[in-house]
Amino acid sequence: MSSSYFDIDDLPGPSNRRSTNREVYISAHDSGYGASVCSEEEPDRPTLVSNNTMPLPLIPGSMLSSAIEDTAQRQFQYQIQQLHYNENRAALGRSITTVMNILKGLQTVNREWPAQYPAFTSVNGPVNSSDMSDRPSQLRRAATDLSLQSSNQDKPTVVSSSPSSESPRLMSSQLSHEFNVLKIDLKLGATSPAELVRSLEKSAISSLLDGKISQALKHLLSLRERIEDTSSKVLVTGDLNAGKSTFCNALLRRDLLPEDQQPCTNVFCEVLDAHINNGVEEVHAIPHGATYNRQDERTYDIFPLSELDRLAASPEIYMLLKIYIEDKRPPEQSLLRNGVVDIALIDAPGLNMDSMQTTAVFARQEEIDVVVFVVSAENHFTLSAKEFIWNAAHEKAFIFIVVNRFDNIRDKSRCSRLILEQVAKLSPRTYSHSDDLVHFVSSNKVPKRDPPDDHDGDDNGDYGDEGANNNDDGVVDFENLERCLRNFVLEKRAISKLAPAKTYLLNVLGDLEALASYNEQVSQNEVQRLTAELAHITPAYEVTLRNSLKISEEVDGNIEKLVTSVYDHTRYKLEHVIAEIGTKRYVEYPGIFSIYSYAADTRDAMLHSIQQSVVECEEFARKKTTGGFTVLKNLGSQHFQGTAYYTEKIFNNSLMFSRRRDLLARGSVSAPIEFSDYIDLHQREKISGLGMTITLATAASTGAVGLPSTVARGLVSATSIIGLRNLRKWIVPALGLAFLCGAVYIISDIPNVVPRKLAKKLKQELENVDYVHSNSERISGECRTVLKYPAEDLRSAFQQLLDEQATQKNERTKQMSHAEESLKYFSGLYNDSKNNWQMISDLDLEAVIAEGTAVV
């Protein structure tokens, strides 16, 4: 709004004007300063409650024009004040919307990622409003110091599976004492609230904080409706039997609400001006669960005022009594019929009557504008009273306190001093204006009775009991209280109506600022810790990954090298042994009569020698496998000594080749003995002479029939030389000798022929079954199978370590992302809370705009 002066003709006229033949009353609708007219004499210092009176006398004669001019000037002043009030109200309305959006954002974040919440000490009490201007820096310093303290105590650890659980969760008493609206104050026996909060899980704390935020949102909605409402609600509450009903009757100057030495008000009684109810005096009793609508008689029951005593003692039926009465006193004397705004005077049951009633009073104070707390001068403030005032102080910096039954106290100065000392602790700002807000009265001293029916409001309003001494100190004190209350509710409406909203917003934003500052520091420490841990975990993970690949390749290479060496050794050994069979005599030759057993023994000896070579190859494989196992075990011990990833196993090499899979052992190679195994007709160089002889003899006996021409010609030539007769004479002996020599030779060569023939047969069968390769593959395969288990254990250990390090890395990375987002969010929340706190704090609700002052 640009800076300018307002002309009175440009401003709207007063929204409500009452006039009589004696006085003129000027009001601005829902004005920040009610409808009273300021005196021309300025006070020496600004006070909470003005001593100005509302009536402006009309001066007859020549003085009339001057009075009208003064009235116009004051009207102009009130219009300016009304604009100021409306600007503040609109600003508070916008601030309420802003704060609600901030709270909803925090609620969403808290539900997804529980916010770190500081626990509280057992110290109770409201915020010292006098120190509110320095609160942001105090909260910031306290949260920073605490977080730095916690970060020094909680060192980062790599193996921690839940690092967030080690973050600081408690706040120092200096900072926790500042919390108000969002304070989680648990009580359980002798256990301190800090201990209770410390014992809760983060999810439980998050749920409690979520509930506090929901309550704050609900309360902000009520605040917004309250500052938009042009009426005012005044709650009269206090301890049981403190004289609340007596006080209300004294304000109304009539015996309306039930009074007794015993508690008699068990239902909320809301007293309103009867003109709202078409001028009819009656009681609207609202049952439990009903929503009151004056236009709908189904929502309430109607009773006459005479039934009020019975209705007030029936809490099981009705939850609220709306009492419409007509106060015929002049507006400058009546609180209900004030000519400015509609006032609802609510008489509440005693705080310590029972838990449900007390809870109802606590909840009801959120709906009202002004709290009038009645305390007995005899009992002072009880625990319930202190808790109520602390709770109300979350939004109401000013509380109107009435110390009733003061006439019963002998040492009045001492009583006043003790009461004020308690007020200073409970509500510092109330104490700072104690002259206007703390009153010591005796309500029973105030004269009251129903005004006469013909009262027209033209007198001075004194229609008390006859003979009543209005100069009595008790009456004067009460009249001063009544004047201060009227001025506080009506003239200082900007304070009584808007200050609670401002105070509550400042408390909410202060709590948000402290919570954001704390979580910002926690998030900053978390980012630093996670950065350090990632700087350690990432290289370790990369080293483990390289070692895993290197060791895996090395293990595979060593196993393949060992298996290949075993295969080559076995193949060479078996090939050599098989090649050598048949070259030596394995058993002694027993003679011609045991040639079969000789052949069988020779065969068995050959097979045994082959099997023995196989056993030697297996023994060689055992030794090589044992060495390979030792190498793998040393690798495991080297990399995983003292960890749970790798467990050393005991290798028993005697269990290798326990299942005989050799072809000879299974009988697949039998080499059966045959007659041909005794004769080797392929040795021609040894029997060539015998063959020739037999050939010649045969040719001669047959006449050389069928012989080749060359042989025949030779025989003919030999015959011609020897002579045919001589030849025929020697042919038969020659043939016999030849056969005899051949038989002798064959028999004598059996010891050599049998091994040779059997070796040849065995070699052929072994070749057919690929004996050398199959055994080499079997033995080397056994080595591979045995070494596979420690190799897999080693790989599994590396994989477990890699998985755990990868999990830690992913968790830290995820936590880092969360911490960075949390840091960003809470940094923004801190700045938003601080800026909005400062903006609301700068709203000057008590500013008095002088005449002719420019409005910006």
Q: Where are the alpha helices (DSSP H) in 581-707?
A: 595-640, 688-702
More confident residue, 293 or 676: 293
Please write the tens of the pLDDT for every residue from 233-244: 888 988 888 888
Q: Per the structure block, which two tokens stand in for 772?
A: 């050398």
- Which of 16-30, 51-65, 760-774, 784-798 has the weakest average pLDDT? 16-30
Going by C-alpha positions, the residue among 186, 22, 182 that lies closest to residue 102 is: 182
pLDDT confidence tier of residue 167, bands split at 50, 70 and 90: very low
- Which of 185-199, 455-469, 661-675 has the weakest average pLDDT? 455-469
pLDDT confidence tier of residue 387, bands split at 50, 70 and 90: confident
Please write the tens of the pLDDT for every residue from 22-57: 333 333 344 444 443 333 343 343 445 444 434 444
Mean pLDDT of 291-316: 89
SS3 labels along 17-34 = EEECCCEEEEECCCCCCC
Mean pLDDT of 270-297: 90
Q: Per the structure block, which two tokens stand in for 827?
A: 């940094």
Torsions phi, psi for 690 (to 5 deg): -65, -35
Please write the tens of the pLDDT for every residue from 414-444: 999 999 999 998 888 889 888 889 999 888 7
**Where exactly does CATH 3.40.50.300 map onto the chain?**
231-491
Looking at residue 57, its amino acid is P
Alpha carbon distance 691, 735 (integer Å): 10
Q: How many CB atoms lie within 10 A of CB 230?
A: 13
Residue 448 has pLDDT above 80, yes or no: no
Going by C-alpha positions, the residue among 667, 634, 815, 673 that lies closest to residue 757 is: 673
Mean pLDDT (the chain) is 75
Residue 427 to residues 149, 335, 446, 481, Cα–Cα distance (Å) = 33, 25, 28, 19
What is the CA angle 442-446-448, rounded to 5?
A: 145
Mean pLDDT of 577-587: 80
- Please tell me the total number of residues recorded for the chain in this structure: 856
Cβ partners under 8 Å of residue 607, min gap 6: 664, 669, 671, 762
Q: What is the pLDDT of residue 165?
A: 39
DSSP string for 231-274 = SEEEEEEESTTSSHHHHHHHHHTS--S---SS----SEEEEEEG
Q: How many CB atoms lie within 10 A of CB 316?
A: 9
pTM (two decimals): 0.64
Half-sphere exposure of 452 (CA within 13 A, CB side): 11
- 231-491: in CATH 3.40.50.300: yes
pLDDT confidence tier of residue 742, bands split at 50, 70 and 90: low
Q: Are 473 and 441 in contact (CB under 8 A)?
A: no
Q: Are 221 and 368 in contact (CB under 8 A)?
A: no
Mean pLDDT of 177-196: 64
Cβ partners under 8 Å of residue 56, min gap 6: 23, 24, 25, 26, 37, 67, 70, 71, 74
- Which of 414-423, 486-495, 581-590, 830-839 has the weakest average pLDDT? 581-590
What is the CA angle 29-34-38, rounded to 5?
A: 125
- DSSP code of 286? E
Q: What is the pLDDT of residue 668?
A: 65
Q: What is the pLDDT of residue 364?
A: 58
Q: How many CB atoms lie within 10 A of CB 264?
A: 16
Q: Are 507 and 395 in contact (CB under 8 A)?
A: yes
Q: What is the pLDDT of residue 713?
A: 66
Q: Which residue has the tokens 């808790």?
A: 387
Q: What is the largest CA-CA distance in the chain?
A: 207
Going by C-alpha positions, the residue among 384, 385, 95, 398 that lies closest to residue 223 is: 95
Q: How far apart are the first and last CA of the chain?
A: 6
Looking at residue 709, its amino acid is S
Alpha carbon distance 554, 274 (integer Å): 100
- Which of 199-203, 334-338, 698-702 has the weakest average pLDDT? 698-702
SS3 labels along 442-507 = CHHHCCCCCCCCCCCCCCCCCCCCCCCCCCCHHHHHHHHHHHHHHHHHHHCHHHHHHHHHHHHHHH
- Which of 101-105, 117-121, 320-324, 684-688 has the weakest average pLDDT? 684-688
3-state secondary structure of 198: helix
Looking at residue 678, its amino acid is Y
pLDDT confidence tier of residue 454, bands split at 50, 70 and 90: very low
Alpha carbon distance 397, 502 (integer Å): 9
More confident residue, 454 or 248: 248
More confident residue, 806 or 141: 806
Residue 571 has pLDDT above 70, yes or no: yes
Q: How many CB atoms lie within 10 A of CB 9?
A: 6
More confident residue, 525 or 708: 525
Q: What is the pLDDT of residue 33?
A: 40
Q: What is the pLDDT of residue 476?
A: 86
Q: What is the pLDDT of residue 667?
A: 59
614 strand-pairing partners: none
Mean pLDDT of 110-134: 59
- Which of 245-259, 451-465, 754-768 has the weakest average pLDDT? 451-465
Q: How many CB atoms lie within 10 A of CB 364?
A: 18
Q: What is the pLDDT of residue 64?
A: 58
Mean pLDDT of 726-751: 71
Residue 462 has pLDDT above 90, yes or no: no
Alpha carbon distance 660, 831 (integer Å): 82
Alpha carbon distance 497, 63 (integer Å): 37
Residue 817 to residues 73, 144, 224, 663, 823, Cα–Cα distance (Å) = 64, 22, 38, 66, 10
Alpha carbon distance 606, 586 (integer Å): 7
Q: How many helices (H) and strands (E) does the chain have?
A: 20, 12
Report CA torsion sign: 459, 460, 462, 467. Answer: negative
Q: How many CB atoms lie within 10 A of CB 235?
A: 25
Please write the tens of the pLDDT for every residue from 696-722: 445 544 444 444 556 556 656 666 666
Alpha carbon distance 596, 577 (integer Å): 24
Alpha carbon distance 701, 697 (integer Å): 6
DSSP string for 713-736 = HHHHHHHHHH-HHHHHHHHHHHHH
Residue 409 to residues 99, 150, 229, 637, Cα–Cα distance (Å) = 47, 53, 41, 89
Percent of the chain with pLDDT strictly greater than 70: 68
Q: Are 41 and 53 in contact (CB under 8 A)?
A: no
Edge-to-edge, what's the strand order for the sheet holding 16-19? Answer: 16-19, 23-27, 56-57
Q: Are 483 and 489 in contact (CB under 8 A)?
A: no
Residue 9 to residues 6, 64, 851, Cα–Cα distance (Å) = 8, 21, 15
Percent of the chain with pLDDT strictly greater than 90: 21
Q: Per the structure block, which two tokens stand in for 696?
A: 């010649």
Alpha carbon distance 249, 443 (integer Å): 8
Alpha carbon distance 550, 569 (integer Å): 28
Please write the tens of the pLDDT for every residue from 600-649: 888 888 888 888 899 999 999 999 999 999 998 888 888 888 788 888 88
Report CA torsion sign: 648, 652, 656, 658. Answer: negative
Residue 462 to residues 153, 445, 452, 485, Cα–Cα distance (Å) = 73, 15, 12, 19
Alpha carbon distance 193, 119 (integer Å): 7
26 strand-pairing partners: 17
Alpha carbon distance 578, 612 (integer Å): 11
Strands 318-325 and 282-287: antiparallel
Residue 679 has pLDDT above 50, yes or no: yes
Q: What is the pLDDT of residue 826?
A: 93
Q: What is the pLDDT of residue 36?
A: 38
